[in-house]
A and B are shown apart, each in its own frame.
Chain A
Amino acid sequence: MSRARRVAREMEDVRSDSEAGITIQAINDADISHLKGTFHGPPGTPYQGGTFVVDIQIPNDYPFKPPRMKFDTRIYHPNISSQTGAICLDILKDAWSPVFTLKSSLISLQSLLQSAEPNDPQDAEVAKIYLTDKAAFERTAAEWTAQYAGGNAGGDQDEIARLGLDRDAVEGFASMGFGKDKIIAVFKKLQIKKPQSQEDEQRVVEELLN
């Protein structure tokens, strides 16, 4: 009875806060022990534009024990199993506190997507790519977001990751006042991921001014 009351209150709280972009729903209204949560991929990451579904099991001794969460949506991330969706996150394990909530947990997952911990991986394979070839990692992560999370790969951030371009280089030209779409198009045309030399840079600028 106590657990049900608190979970119902938490869901009510999430419902009344539409700005957070988070939803939590019971699969079956009569049973609050099995829920599904969703949140949006954070902007400026390869997960942008995606909506991620998380399976939530509420243990009997919740909130003294953490909710059991795993991704239903397939996701490419060092701390999440690309096969099972299992999550490696301290607050869902030893670092859980009963003052945390389902909402705060989902927000923590959201920030996990923003800042991965490749040195404490759940998926060693993904973590290896993350550490050795960041561009390839971002490309795959964005592709998966588009394919499994309904992400819109047309967004410029996703495009950068999808093509494996150097984000800093693109941002650099953008800060000179060029549109990102145009910069991406030029990089594509010149077949470079980032300018390697001054000549490269000049060629990009020339193309941009065309």
Chain B
Amino acid sequence: MPTAEEFKTIGNDFYSNHDFEAAIMNYSQAIVKNPKNVIYYQNRAMAYSKLGKYEEMERDCSKALEILPNSVKALYYLGIALTALRRFRQGAEVLDKAYAESVKMSSALSPKISEQILLLKEQRHSHELESVRRQSDTLLTYMLELLEKDKQEQLNELKAQGLSGQALRSERQFVQEEFLDKEKQIISTFKASQKGSQNGNSAMEEIPDYLADPISFNLFMDPVVTPAGQTYERSWLLEHLKGGGKDPLTRKNLSPKDLYPNLAVKKAAEDFMKRNGKY
């Protein structure tokens, strides 16, 4: 019988061959043998994500975090799962924690986590737009139903007034036309307001250069400023500084402790994200 570690190795082989089902079976065997190793849960979580099984992924990440509450990888994976499950509020909290831990540990995952945070915000934005649109569609249907009911009542009233023949026909036509007009007006007002909330707020505004990190080209999430006055995304700059510790532009020595957060740019980037929902 293979040991837990051996099962993991076999699982990893299946994983690299894109046989995720088989990988999961082997990681599960490893977990049976040794339920206290976070790596088995994390690896199985990744295999689940490849199959789009985000609930299982979330469960494995949570188990890993029970064993090792500050595991950067488990927090990051959990954030991915929660994003996919559209549990944005919880996902944002988890990713913030993952990011803080990752920067503290100077983990190489920091750039990826910062990008996942932006991705979550982007998806939350389009999710919110979508639900606003759906609400307004429901409201529109309801109003059209009310209008139809009103029309029927008025038509019935004409009969009750005892009109007949040519007089009835012309009155009926008048009412029909009047309601058709109203219907058109309501629909166009709704469409205009929907368009407005999409275009007015999130027009095809491009990310301006001053809000984009010159290394990742992404919208800023946690911008820092160097002594030379240049602003970079923290995690990407830190990753660059691991190889030599030089300022990317001036090539002078640059240490992580020389960096200060650029709060104004952070605010402006958040504002851009709120309006445009993209990074």
Which residue of chain A is the closest to B108 with respect to CB atoms?
A61
- CB neighbours (8 Å) of B216 from chain A are 2, 5-6
Contact flag A10-B217 (CB < 8 Å), given A1-B115, A2-B111, A98-B240: yes
Contact flag A99-B214 (CB < 8 Å), given A64-B239, A64-B240, A64-B243: yes
> Chain B's nearest CB lies how many Å from the CB of A99?
5
Mark contacts of B210-249 with chain A using CB atoms, 8 A cut-off: 1 yes-contact digit, 0 otherwise.
0000111110000000000000000010011001000011
| A99 B249 Cβ-Cβ under 8 A | yes
- CB neighbours (8 Å) of A93 from chain B are none
How many A-B residue pairs lie within 8 Å, measured between CB atoms? Answer: 30
**Number of A residues whose C-beta is below 8 Å from B?**
11
Tell me, in angstroms, the Cα distance from A27 to B217 when the chains sit together: 23
Which residue of chain B is the closest to A9 with respect to CB atoms?
B217
The 8 Å CB contact of B115, one of A2, A10, A97, is A2
> Chain A's nearest CB lies how many Å from the CB of B63?
25
Q: Does A63 contact B (CB under 8 A)?
A: yes
| B218 A5 Cβ-Cβ under 8 A | yes
| Chain A interface main SS type | loop
Tell me, in angstroms, the Cα distance from A64 to B235 when the chains sit together: 12
Which residue of chain A is the closest to B116 with respect to CB atoms?
A1
Q: Does B86 contact A (CB under 8 A)?
A: no
Contact flag A98-B248 (CB < 8 Å), given A6-B216, A6-B217, A9-B217: yes
- CB neighbours (8 Å) of B251 from chain A are 97
> Chain B's nearest CB lies how many Å from the CB of A101?
9
Tell me, in angstroms, the Cα distance from A97 to B218 when the chains sit together: 17
Which residue of chain B is the closest to A97 with respect to CB atoms?
B248
Q: Does B112 contact A (CB under 8 A)?
A: yes
| B112 A2 Cβ-Cβ under 8 A | yes
Tell me, in angstroms, the Cα distance from A6 to B216 when the chains sit together: 6
- CB neighbours (8 Å) of B215 from chain A are 63, 98-99
Mark contacts of B188-227 with chain A using CB atoms, 8 A cut-off: 1 yes-contact digit, 0 otherwise.
0000000000000000000000000011111000000000
- CB neighbours (8 Å) of B248 from chain A are 97-99
Which residue of chain A is the closest to B244 with respect to CB atoms?
A94
Give 5 A-B pairs besides A2-B216, A6-B216, A98-B248 with Cβ atoms closer than 8 angstroms.
Answer: A5-B217, A64-B239, A64-B240, A97-B248, A97-B249
Give me the interface of B with A, judged by CB distance under 8 Å: 111-112, 115, 214-218, 236, 239-240, 243, 248-249, 251
8 tightest A-B CB contacts, nearest first: A97-B248, A98-B215, A9-B217, A99-B214, A99-B248, A6-B217, A98-B240, A98-B248
